Structure 1
Amino acid sequence: MGIRLLEAPVARRNDSRARMYIVDHLKPGTTIKRKVEISNKSSAPRRIDLYAAAAGIEDNAFAFAPMRTANELTRWTRVTPPSARLDPNSGAEAEITISVPRTARAGERYAVVWAESRVAPDATRNIGSVTRVGVRIYLDVGPGGEPVSDFAIEKMTGTRDKQGRPSVSAAVRNLGRRAVDLSGTLGLRDGPGGITAGPFRAAAGITLAPYGKGTVTVPLEPGLPDGPWKAALTLQSGTVQRTSTATVTLAGEKRTSHTLRYAAVAAAAALAAGAVALVVIRRRRRNSGQVSASG
């Protein structure tokens, strides 16, 4: 089962988020319509229910409310038809209408338009199932033009976890009044011996609320040496793209303990070598004394 957005504002034709989600800014008293396509990719007929349910941003992730939880935005949203019966491997179109009241206060709101299919328990199934897929809505309301979207990459650090797996983390701050969905890549250069590595893809699912801050993590290949490395991180949300560079090392708890052990071995070896040298010197002095006495 699938659902995808078929329409986006012309002004957002270069915005990758607007091709996946409903991302818009509306003045109070405005109505918009967006078409979506729903599809049944299974070999059995399906009844698909269409509705809007609440969403929000929690712990730097876009969070879906359970079942048909309502909020202000869902009460402004209508999906027609509210349900459709699809034959196997077929599709249909539906229309989403969002009508913002004239009295709506300014601010950004979040919801999801869900396509849901239920299978009830029967003689062959003791447990029923619910499957749903959705299109997110990021709707900003207010007079005038759309607020600026912007974010900043403030700091990068490298580390290894207890299993020795390296990663680079970046502190990111949302500077605008619109949520940002962060994606991007990291490249490494000028490592030990002048080697390069990457690009490595940032972990998905980071959404920062307006003026929020969070951490973007980029997992790396386990075999990479500690460094130092010159790291270049590029992050994007819609049409906003930012790049930051920094020097990072990948040492962590596990690697540090190894380093201390290697240092201890090296020190022991140095002491052993010093002891051997001292014995040789003493023997030479003793032999020199015996020659002088006999002469």
Structure 2
Amino acid sequence: MTGEQGGGLKKLWQKVLEDNQHARMASAEKSNEERATKEPEMISQEKLQLLGDRMLEIGESMAQMQGSVGSKLKEDGSPVTAADLKAEGEIIEMAERLFPGWPTVSEETNNESIPGPSYKSIDGLDGTRWFTAGLEGWCLAIGFVRDGVPIAGVIVQPSRNQCFLALKGAGVHTREGSSTKWNRFVRARADRPMFGTDLDRTSAGDPNDPYWTNVRNLCAKLGEYPFNSPSIPAALSVMEGKFWGWMSKNAKNWDVAASYVLIEELGGVVEQLDGTPLPWDSIKMPPFLIAESPDQADRIRSVLEIS
């Protein structure tokens, strides 16, 4: 293939992505207006498991796409691929069949405002950079927020062919793709858990920003730079005892809506650095931390010297 042909294909690919995204955004906006007048369907464990079953299938098809799709940069500098858009659309479609009446917030197609106190929040692919690099660990997720409080969440990690879901008050359940059985998830502890963040050594930042001061304090006391991870894989790492905590500056609503319920059902916390609740009427989340317990969150704050 010549350079000119390659450039032409790249332009065509970008146009397809843009046209697809604009069409989905227009459809999602119309759907949200229609649903705003309806009472959202109640969430049941049985239907949540059906959604998890379907998301395992979606994750498997995404894994087959890995390595064969290109990406483009969005306005915020983050990448998007055809897999992001495909997964997001298929999750929305299944969720609307099972749970009609829930407006949609999603990373690629309905990402400008919160439609009301009750909505579903979808990330079709968290860890797009990992996905495009051929790495494992990326996830897909959906969370349900009712009256300003997350009440249910489903997360699939295709590299393990595993789904985790939680309904408020019913604990966390998991299913591996090779099985049809859902089992209660039991939180594990690692011998040497790490601390994580969504920033890496090369991330640009204002040196006077209090968040960066906290990162520097943390590095000095840990003697190492925190492990860099996207939000949803990080939440699974906290659940499984691989991380004792994780801190974010860059997360959006869809990055944490599903994780919040799973972490809380296991006795953990997801809260702002000062301990106040997250604002579920906002797309952009303030800096926050995930910890396996309230005591661990207090220890993290003491390391960061946050009161």
**Normalising by structure 2, what TM-score?**
0.23
Higher radius of gyration, 1 or 2: 1
More strand by share: 1
Greater helix content: 2
TM-score between both structures, scaled by the size of structure 1: 0.24
